[in-house]
Amino acid sequence: MGTVIAITSGKGGTGKTSITSGVASSLALMGRSVLCIDMDVGLRNLDISLGLSDRALMDFSDVALGRCSLARAVVEHPDLKGLSLLSAPMTMPASLTSDKVRALLAEARAGYDYILIDSPAGLGPGFQLATRGVDRAIVIATNDASSLRDAQRTVAELDHLKTIHLVMNRIQTKLLRKLRTTIDDAMDTAGLPLIGVVPEDPQVILCANLGHPLTTRGKRGAALACWNIAQRLEGQRVPIMRIR
């Protein structure tokens, strides 16, 4: 049975979608079967980060509401074997319930090793829908005070989960020095164990604009950080990246 992981942030603009794409493509390169589900209804962008822009004809609501099968709705990546996408609708159907999403996830567990959900920003109905049927969660935060506060609030909403980890994204050591803070301080503020530190990296935007998954451009910078996170999800002991 596959593992369902919600990747969330509370606050928007933390790089949640790029982390979802980077970790998913890393797991696929490791030989795992991975389904990415974009649940950011109305603001979907995961297809861009994965290099699958506008390829999806059906979305997760079509599957959850019985309008088509999961196999028909998913889009397989043409270059990364084992990596697939289930996109989000432009609007949230009124008939879509958490029980129907749970049934969709149960079906996906039977066919994939990992199901990564790109959760919408905020803690509203979309967030609740994206996180109620999952096995674990990864909260993405940056080092600014508002992002860490929102991470705390997100953790409080995820108290039904036993396993929640923190990823500190877009880290710049010069900024940390100016703020006189550390990654340990951020972990204490968020109240979560750390599963990854990702540096600020212009390759993230470049790869998205070119339609290339981040980890296909070599294992360095943010791509290496996502690879390390994927290894830790696999149970491997990998040192946290030192960002210079």
Q: Residue 47 is encoded by which pair of tokens?
A: 């297809």
β-bridge partners, 86: 37
Percent of the chain with pLDDT strictly greater than 90: 64
Q: Is the pLDDT of residue 3 over 90?
A: yes
Q: Is the pLDDT of residue 57 over 80?
A: yes
Give alpha helix (H) positions in 74-200.
98-111, 125-131, 145-157, 173-179, 183-190
pLDDT for res 175: 55
106 belongs to a structural domain: yes
Q: Residue 155 is encoded by which pair of tokens?
A: 């953790």
Q: Residue 32 is encoded by which pair of tokens?
A: 């795992």
Q: Tokens 């996408």 belong to which residue?
A: 85
CATH number at residue 133: 3.40.50.300
CA–CA distances in Å: residue 171 to residues 62, 63, 117, 180:
38, 38, 23, 14
* pTM, to two decimals: 0.93
Q: Which residues contact 7 (CB under 8 A, 6 or more apart)?
A: 16, 19, 20, 23, 116, 117, 118, 119, 137, 138, 140
143 belongs to a structural domain: yes
240 belongs to a structural domain: no
Most confident of 75-79, 146-150, 200-204: 75-79
Percent of the chain with pLDDT strictly greater than 70: 92
239 belongs to a structural domain: no
Kindly report the number of other CB atoms within 10 A of residue 202's CB atom. Answer: 9
166 belongs to a structural domain: yes
pLDDT for res 129: 92
**More confidently predicted of 102 and 190:** 102
Give the pLDDT band (50/70/90) at residue 86: very high
In three-state secondary structure terms, 43 is coil
244 belongs to a structural domain: no
- Rounded CA separation 3/134 (Å): 8
Q: Is the pLDDT of residue 204 over 60?
A: yes
pLDDT for res 121: 87
57 belongs to a structural domain: yes
CA–CA distances in Å: residue 181 to residues 130, 146, 178, 225:
32, 15, 8, 21
pLDDT tens column, 114-163? 999 999 988 898 999 999 899 999 999 988 878 888 989 999 999 999 99
Cβ burial 67-103 (10 Å sphere, 16+ → b, else e)? eeebeebbbebeebebbbbbbbbeebeeebeeebbbe
pLDDT tens column, 213-232? 887 767 889 999 999 999 99
- Rounded CA separation 217/18 (Å): 14
**More confidently predicted of 241 and 222:** 222
Q: Is the pLDDT of residue 181 over 80?
A: no
**More confidently predicted of 47 and 179:** 47
Looking at the structure of the chain, the number of domains it has is 1
Instruction: Look up the domain containing 206 and give its range.
Output: 3-233
pLDDT for res 213: 84
179 belongs to a structural domain: yes
Q: Is the pLDDT of residue 85 over 90?
A: yes
pLDDT tens column, 165-180? 999 998 876 655 554 5
